[in-house]
Structure 1
């Protein structure tokens, strides 16, 4: 049960932040957002506020923000349609009833002769279906079309995704991955404050374990190690390397303490790690507990993981691709199960790394991903005109289908690794 809760927390948080980036930039650009969904498939929870429906869905394979004008959805009232109109006190159309007119007894019957529900926002026709009574009404910007039990809000052209400048469209798409990186920065920063400091690679000693070889020899936290057995130490890594390679051997630590140099002899205890003997003296790595170090840690650690992930991607390209290199929802679940055993702080760190992963993967220039859409925007910038929407939509559809096939293969591979 703990693993399930942890998985929902991790998955929900990183997908929520990704979609929140799209959502906030869309709103800021004046784009109507129709759906904000976590997950795909059947709805588990749905809530509508103003023009946006917020949903949680069954399949934990991502999420989406559906913006007006992205899906090619058009509302077309052709001449001859018989509809019912509900009007505001100033006689602007607020509801256009296509089906189910009998439930709106006060609706004004109208046979449509012409309508524009995108730019000029009007509807013309014959009142009471009488061709001698031609009328024209202005349509409210938030008017809805009712088709039985389905209500669809009209989309004025200036509220659609396609009406916005190339810069605003690109920023709205890029905001999803960007918010994944922002989430990672926030998590790493919180971890730095909770843990009380940031691990550094300075050539000095951190906390000394009581009754350890270091404590018994007289080493103290903050001691700057200049050399060990005559070997210069410029970093914590140097100290760890020398100690690990000399289990049970008397080592001469030359340290600086209170502006004075001392020689202290320490004998590392012998510990078995991964089948071989290594030396340990009972000292933790040094930390920097300054406010600036804790704040900067969020950025430096995020950049570290970005570079690590790009290194892995490079190795996948040059060294050959294998499904074993990828993890789907099942693989992430089994990995989360292991991470949970190490505690909540480790789970937070895992969440940050996954968030960076999601951000980078979404920036790959592949159809149906954010990177693929940004590639089309780059093409539009160069050619000075957009790609045909139907062609672009078909490419993204094929890309999405291929991604779903890959997801199924990866998930099956995850199941085999986990249970067989």
Structure 2
């Protein structure tokens, strides 16, 4: 795969993994009637922003995740106090805009001093306008305009905390579920693209050739079928084929490959590492849809065990920080895999999607698993945990995750520099 395609495919892969996860949160929050203020890919400063309906869609600088900001869980509110002078604009006898600054520049508005205001339950404003007290009803989607931005009000029934435990849990759990669904689909797609090994393989195929490698210099091409090496038939035994290469360091080897039905003679000299720069693979066949579904399910089970074994090693200290990879290391591995071809990248994307879903369900503060844990406690206790305490737990957890991300990213970069 050409480098430009590798880069594009890598970016699209990460975008798909994160955006589908956040879409799960977004979709079920909207179904529950929750006001979703922002759908973001990445963290940090905004690179792109566009508002559609009630939600602002943003792409942010740091590509290390994403978030869906729901009303009642975010700090984006504008406080309006009694005694404050504001201006309001009405339509069909309902207040649609509330201005809190630059009042002298507003035209076609009603100016007055706030006597009382309720933008969550009763949705009204009482204003003193030239000595007369008037009561105005507020539209449930009214905008508060101030400090150069517009903020939609969030009536209590549009806030995250007003929904049932089940509705809130579903809007949180849906993110990881989308990653599991995506992983299953991608595993199946990878099988369809790459095929499955035949029961008794008789060929060793070249699935890829690394640029500037001994194999590339010798003229080997992707799709070649290795017939013999040094006069010895290879058949379908990949292990024996690899051993032959590994024991011929620096020695020219006579290869015969079948290329589009014609035999081609090549001389290949393994490098000092005992490699020639190829991705050998066995003979394969095209599977049916049912077989692909079965293999995808088996892959989900296999890789779930591998992922949890990795977590176990971290918990028991078998894997240290220096052995962990962050965004930089993951991106490098992804690029290396993408160079091998779309089937390999698709399978890798499935593994990452599965990992993302499982990791987010861990009971670590700031992750979906922790939020589900708090909802579970609420269901058992019959009342929610103090929102301020829960927010502090998630804030500390998020800060620790960011610190961990900085450390592993530093290790990634240090590892790249030392190579």
TM-score, structure 1 normalization: 0.79
Equivalent in the alignment of 1:106: 108
Q: Could you tell me which residue of structure 1 aligns to residue 366 of structure 2?
A: 368
Residue 205 in structure 1 maps to residue 205 in structure 2: no
**Take 2:243 and 2:19, find their aligned partners in 1: how far apart are those partners?**
49
Return the offset for 1:244.
8.9
Aligned residues of 2:238 and 2:282 also touching (Cα < 8 A): no
Correspondence for 2:377: 379
- The alpha carbon displacement at 1:288 in A equals 6.6
Aligned match of 2:43? 40
Give the C-alpha shift of residue 79 in structure 1: 1.1
CA contact (8 A) 2:71 2:160 kept: yes
Shift in Å, 1:306: 1.4
Contact between 1:81 and 1:112, CA under 8 Å: does it hold in 2?
Answer: yes
Instruction: Give the equivalent residue in structure 2 for 1:225.
Output: none
**1:418 equivalenced with 2:386 (yes/no):** no
1:225-304 correspondence to structure 2 within 5 Å: 284=282, 289-304=287-302
Q: 2:72 aligns with which of 66, 69, 73?
A: 69
Match of 1:236 in 2: none
* Structure 1, 289-298 or 27-36: larger mean CA deviation: 289-298
> Shift of the alpha carbon at 1:352?
1.4
Q: What TM-score does the superposition give when structure 2 sets the normalisation length?
A: 0.79
For residues 94-141 of structure 1, give each alpha carbon's deviation from its aligned partner in whole angstroms, at most 9, with x where no partner exists. Answer: 00111122332100112111111011111112124x2xx111111001
Alignment of 1:303-318 (within 5 A): 303-318=301-316
1:23 CA drift (Å): 0.8
Matches within 5 A, 1:132-147: 133-147=132-146
RMSD of Structure 2 on Structure 1 (CA): 3.1
Tell me if structure 2 keeps the 8 A contact 1:205–1:283.
no
For 1:97 and 1:332, the matched residues in 2 are separated by 47
Q: Give distance in 1, aligned partners of 2:143 and 2:273.
A: 70
Unaligned runs of 5+ in 1: 214-219, 222-238, 248-271, 277-281
1:152 aligned residue: 151
Pick from 69, 81, 84: which aligns with 1:81?
84
Aligned to 2:20: 17
Distance in 2 (CA, whole Å) between partners of 1:211 and 1:93 is 77
In the alignment, the residues of structure 2 paired with residue 345 and residue 418 of structure 1 have an alpha-carbon distance, to the nearest angstrom, of 26
Distance 2:157 2:58 in 1: 25
Structure 2 contact 77–151 (Cα < 8 Å) conserved: no
Moved over 6 A (4+): 243-247
Distance 1:319 1:65 in 2: 34
1:31-76 Cα deviation digits (max 9, x unpaired): 1111111111111111111111101111111111101111254443
Secondary structure of the structure 2 residue equivalent to 1:79: coil
1:155-166 aligned within 5 A = 155-166=154-165
The farther-off stretch of 339-348 and 134-143 is 339-348
Which residue in 2 is equivalent to 1:183? Answer: 182
Q: Is the 8 A contact 1:32 1:159 kept in 2?
A: yes
Shift of 1:207: 6.0
Q: Distance in 2 between matches of 1:169 and 1:39?
A: 23
Sort the Cα spacing of 1:331 and 1:127 in 2 relative to 1 into closer, same or farther, 3 A: same
Report the Cα distance in structure 2 between the residues aligned to 1:367 and 1:96, rounded to whole angstroms.
37
Task: Find the aligned partners of 1:16 and 1:283 in 2 and give their Cα distance.
Answer: 33
Indicate conservation of the 8 Å contact 1:6/1:336, yes or no. Answer: no
Instruction: Provide the C-alpha distance between the structure 2 equivalents of 1:212 and 1:413, rounded to a whole number of angstroms.
Output: 44
Q: How far off is 1:358 after superposition?
A: 1.3
What 5-or-longer segments of structure 2 have no aligned partner?
205-224, 229-234, 245-269, 275-279
Q: Secondary structure at the residue paired with 2:50?
A: strand
* Residues 361, 370 of structure 2: 8 Å contact kept: yes
Distance 1:4 1:246 in 2: 33
Matched position secondary structure for 1:14: helix
Q: Counterpart in 2 of 1:231?
A: none
Following superposition, the deviation at residue 6 of structure 1 comes to: 3.7
